[in-house]
Structure formats: C-alpha cells, structure tokens
Amino acid sequence: MRALYEAVFLVVLIALIGFWEWRSALLLMISIPITLAMTFGIISMLGLDLQQVSIAALIIALGLLVDDPVVAGDAIKREMAQGRPRATAAWLGPTLLATAIFFATVTNVVAYLPLLLLSGNQGDFLFSLPIVMAAALISSRIVSMTFIPFLGNLILRRDQRKTLTIEERRVQGFTGKYYKLVGHLIDHRRKVLLCFLLILAAGVGIKSQLKNAFFPDDVQYISTIDVWMKNDANLQATNEVVVKVEGFVRQEVRAFAQEQGLKDEGDLLESINSTIGGGAPRFWFTISPEQRQNNYAQLIVRLNDKDMTPILVPRLQMVLSNQVAGADIDVKQLQTTPVNYPVAIRISHRVTASNQEEQADIDRLLDYAETVKSIIRQSPAVRTVRDDWGDSSLVLQLKIDSDRANLAGITNEDIAISSSSGISGARVGTLRQGDKQIPIVTRLRLDQRARLSDLNSLYVYSMDSESKVPLLEMASTEYKLKTERIRRIEQFRTITVFSYPGPGYLSADIMQDAQAQLDTFQASLADGYVMEISGNQANTEHGFAELIGVMMISAAAIFMALVLQFRNLVKSLLVLASVPFGIVGALTALYITGEPFGFMAFLAIVSLIGVIVSHIIVLFDFIDERQAEGDSFKDSLLDAGIMRLRPILITIGATTLALVPLAIEGGPLWKGLCYAQIGGLIAATFGTLLLVPSLYAFVVLDLKAIRWEEKAV
C-alpha cells in the first residue's frame, strides 16, 4: 500500500507541474480518490481482495485513469478560453471528446481483459490484474463524464492571463519549437520512415541480447534448504547431517548479522524448522512436499527482514556446499511459479521393456544421463548437476536356485518373508500402553544378525507345510551395485538430469551454452528413447506462447474497435504504427537496467498496446477537428499535436512516475514489468508526437491511401 500512496503523490505532483495552475491540479486530485473508491466498490462486488497483484494493478492503472480527467479538464479549460460560460464549457468540453474518450477507454480495457485466458499458475496468479485494470478504466470513464463536468464548473475559472491563440502557439515557447521540429519531420517524412525501420531493426538486435527468465524468485522472509543423502541412508544419518547444517546456518547468519551492524543472530534469524524423513507440510503455493523417504530432510529458514533473503541464500549455499560432506544441499528462495528444477532434461524409454531387457534399459538410461550431465557441466553458469535417480547402492542380493527350492517345497515368497523377518523384523502385533500403541516386532537377536554371513545360517519356513530348510541350501548371496530409486512418468522409466545456476547466472545461460550439444545428443538417441526439456525453459515457451495468443486477441479486438470508430481500414492500421516504437522502447529499458526478458516484461508489452493506441485515437480526433475548422493538412497535423502535447505529457509523466515506487519496492517480480512499461511509454510518446504525424503525411500525400479534403470555413 505504501507504493500506492507514493504513486498517488507523484501523479498529483506531475499534474501540478504540468498544468502549472492549482485549480486544474485540484480537479485531478479530487478525481483520483473518487475513481479509486468506485474501483474498490466494483472489485469488492466481484469478490476480489486487496493483495499483491490487485494493488500492483491499481498502481499500473493510476497513470491511465488520470488520462480521462486530464483530457476532460483540458477540454473544459479550452472552451472557457474561447469565451463560453463556465457551465456551458464544463458540459461541452468533455462532450465533444466523448466518442474519442470512449474508444480510447475501450482499447485499454480490451488490451487487458484477454489476460483472463491465461491458464495454469500464471493465470491464477494474475487473475485479478485484468479485472482491476478494467474496473479502474471504466470508473475513470464514468468520472470524466459525470463528476469532472460538475466539479469543473465549481472549481475551474477562466485564466485571467492572456490565452495564446493557436497561431501564436505555433511560434512561441515550447509549442513553437515542437511545431518547427514536427514540420521539419513531415517535410522529410521518407527519411523519418527509414529511421523508423532502422529503429525496429535495432530493437530486434536488442532483444537478442536480453536474457530470458520466466519468473524471478520471490523475495519473502522464508527460504528452504533441501538435504539429500545417499539412497541407502537411514534416518539417523540424515538427522546427523541436519544438525550440522543447522549449526552452519546459525554460524553464517551470525557473521552476516555482525556485518550488517546487528547485535546478534536473533535480530535477523527468527527460526529454523527441520523436517526429517520427508518434506514439510505444504506452506507455500508453489512448493510440493517431498514424499516420505529416509534420505531426505527439509529446513525452513525464516528471517526478520525479507530483503536479506536473496543476499543470504547464495552465502548459505556456498558455506554448506563446502562444509557439509556426504550430502547434496540446495538452498532456495521461494518461487513465484512452481518449478522443481531451473534446468531439467528428461530422458525416458517410451517402449515397455521385458523382464530380460529391464536391466539393459536401466543401464542405457543411466548412460544417457551421464552424457547429458557432461554436456551441462561444460557451461560456466552451472553450480551443480545431478539426476533424480541418485547413485547406485551396494546391496546384498539373494540368488535363488528355483529347482532346489521347489524340491524342498519352498517358494520365493517363503524365502523373502523369512529373510526379511530375520534381518529387518516382522510386525506381529501391537502393545497398548495407556494412550500409546507400541508395535511388536519379531527378528533375530543382534548377535545373530551382526554379520552378513549370519544370513547363511537362517532357516526358511514353508507357509504350506511344517518343513524348514537352511537358506544356504537354496540360495547364495552376492554383493552388487544397484539403482534403488527408479522414477516413472506415465508408467515409463524416466530419469531427469537437473541443474542449478551459480550466483549471477540464470537457467537460460545454462541452456544457451548446452542447447546445440543437446540437440545433437537428441538426434543420436536409440529408437524408443525420448529427450524432453523441462524446467524454466519449458515454462517460458508455454507462457510466451499463451501471451502471444493474448496479444493477438487484444490487437484484433482493438483493431475492430478502431475500424468501428474511423470506418477506414488504413487509418485504423495507422493508429497502430507507434506500437512497434513502444516495444523497442520497452526492450531498450530492459537492456539498460539489466533486467531479463520474462513473463512480466512480456505482459508489460502486451498491455502497452492499449495505452499507445488510446493516445493516438484522441490525436486523430483533434486532427479531424482542425480539418473541420478549415486548417490545411499540415497545420491540422501540427495543431492537433500542439493541442494534445500537454495532456499526453502529463499522462505519460504520471504513468511512468507512478510505476517507480512499484519498481523500487515491489521486488524482482514487478521490476521487469515496470521498467518495460516506463521505457515503452516514453518511446511511444515520441512516436505519437513525432512519428505518427510524419507517417500520416506519408500515407495521405505519398501513398494517397487516405483521402483528405480541405474544408472552407
């Protein structure tokens, strides 16, 4: 909420500077709480709560929802300057622009609503964003056509200073410089078009330099530590390692706290909770608890300052990796979307192997996994590479002589039960002692099972008769390395090679280094074996594909609205001309700030379309107005730009500055979106005020695709 309050303050400050007149700024100040209150009422009726995404949506919408009041208030002032009474000006100003403002609002709404089509976790996460944006924009439209005329009549006054005519504004001040600059660009419109194409080409080059990251890690008070022992480790061994890990964590936190000037670790570390033999109960929506297994433990570290989490996590990882032997340890921040491993390559055999081919199938999958590991290890971005089957374990294997066992009347089941009961024990009952239930287990005495050779003297009892036979008469024992953990996906054996990037790297860096070799490896797989890339890359491809679909739907809906308004196909396409300029600006902002191109940055680009188009719609309406008043073609373009100059600059300034608090305080999740929108809006402003008039002149004068008729006054 603090970011929202700061955004409101910055918007009001921009309005005061832009209008340079307290009455117009006061009108905007009053319209903001009215619009927000109306928005809160709508989202409350729809059952949405105020949370991270909905508050961020309000901040993003804040600059947009002042656009309608700014345009309406500026229209009222213009009508007053022409000598009309206050009441007439308050009604006539917004009414003359009603159609343009309506379609501008429609384009913004339809730019966001298709985001409801997103599926999966990102769809659930962003569900409230398009609804809140639509509610805010509709509320702004209602306020601009109802409250603004009423309040404008009460607050606004005719400026006592001399109001410059349009002819005087063409030669004086900032508008005079704008008139001269854009006039020069119109005269050299072919060169402007060439520069526009070069800028688009540069945007393609900038995109190729950006790293890809689907979603950043979430900055929260909690981080997790996963401890993986060897597959044959017992609970006691796992617990001993967890105790060491807790000690090193406290030691490192204590040292870090002292570096930060804190008295002791208690000022930074709130708690450490350990779960041994399985994952902790689900405590975060993107974390799926691990199943019960003796060789796994999970520690949950909670700090008092969440901003310290991304700083402390890599330090803990380095210390634990260097100090704790015999275990694989992964220190993780919480995630925005559920991804088990940042980099994951699955290899599976999609043909069911017979019993005789089972071991050969397992060995081949292990060989393939080792090849993939060697490929990934070559990347300098890698911290660790493992697979989810784990190392082979030394096991004692019984080789049963079936013929001799059958002659003795002993089955394989008899041998299995007897050997397991003698060594591990068999539960035969339960002893109730108060409120406790104590299992009763039968097994050999410790001195009878202390050595593996004692197994040879074990007797096997038949369940169908009273006969008993020494185990040594029917079976022999041997030591063997065996893969004890075999995972399956859709019933097919599947081994997953996974990797974590090192500090300062992304999973995309690893995949970029390994992709060519992985493609070659995939082509060399035997028949029936399949390699699939999972992890962040798979999520990125799926998420971007959905966003491209959303963008196409938004663009189609906006284009239909433009055709309905202008009833001219070419003019509707011309309205979209500044959109690529805004996209290049967004990509440039990401490149300058060092932010990766991820889902939220792509979302910002999708939402830019409506904002850019809405400004050009109103600009074209002013061009038509100047044409109706008898201006020449060139003067119509330039005068419309002069009249729209201040409202556009105020709106863009308010929108971009409103995003700054969210970029600073919203964490890594919102940085990419904010920087992309700021860069895109700034670039699109230049495109709207400088590029669009030149393109309009090129289409009318050179291509003659739009008919222009000079109208006598």
Question: In the 3-class helix/strand/coil scheme, how is 51-96 assigned residue by residue?
Answer: CHHHHHHHHHHHHHHCHHHHHHHHHHHHHHHCCCCHHHHHHHHHHH
What integer pLDDT is reported at residue 365 of this predicted model? 93
Tell me the three state secondary structure of residue 666: coil
Confidence band of 711 (pLDDT split at 50, 70, 90): low
Q: Which residues, including other chains, have CB under 8 Å from residue 79's CB and lie 6 or more apart?
A: 88, 89, 92, 93
Question: Residue 331 has what pLDDT?
Answer: 94
**Which of these ranges, 10-14, 159-163, 259-263, 373-377, has the smallest mean pLDDT?**
159-163
Instruction: Check pLDDT > 70 for residue 41.
Output: yes
In the chain, what is the straight-line distance between the N-terminal and C-terminal CA atoms, in Å? 54
Q: How far apart are alpha carbons 566 and 448 in whole angstroms?
A: 94
Contact 521, 371 (CB under 8 A): yes
- Looking at this protein, which amino acid is placed at residue 524? S
**What is the average pLDDT across 323-338?**
88
Tens of pLDDT, residue by residue over 430-466, are 888 888 888 888 877 777 666 766 676 778 888 777 7
Q: Measure CA 572 to chain center.
A: 32
486 pLDDT more than 70: yes
Q: For 537-566, what is each residue's pLDDT tens digit?
A: 888 888 888 888 888 888 888 888 888 888
pLDDT band at 710 (very low <50, low <70, confident <90, very high): low
260 strand-pairing partners: none
Residues 104 and 625: their CA atoms lie apart, in Å, by: 17
| Res. 371 pLDDT band, cuts 50 70 90 | very high
264: confidence class by pLDDT, cuts 50, 70, 90: low
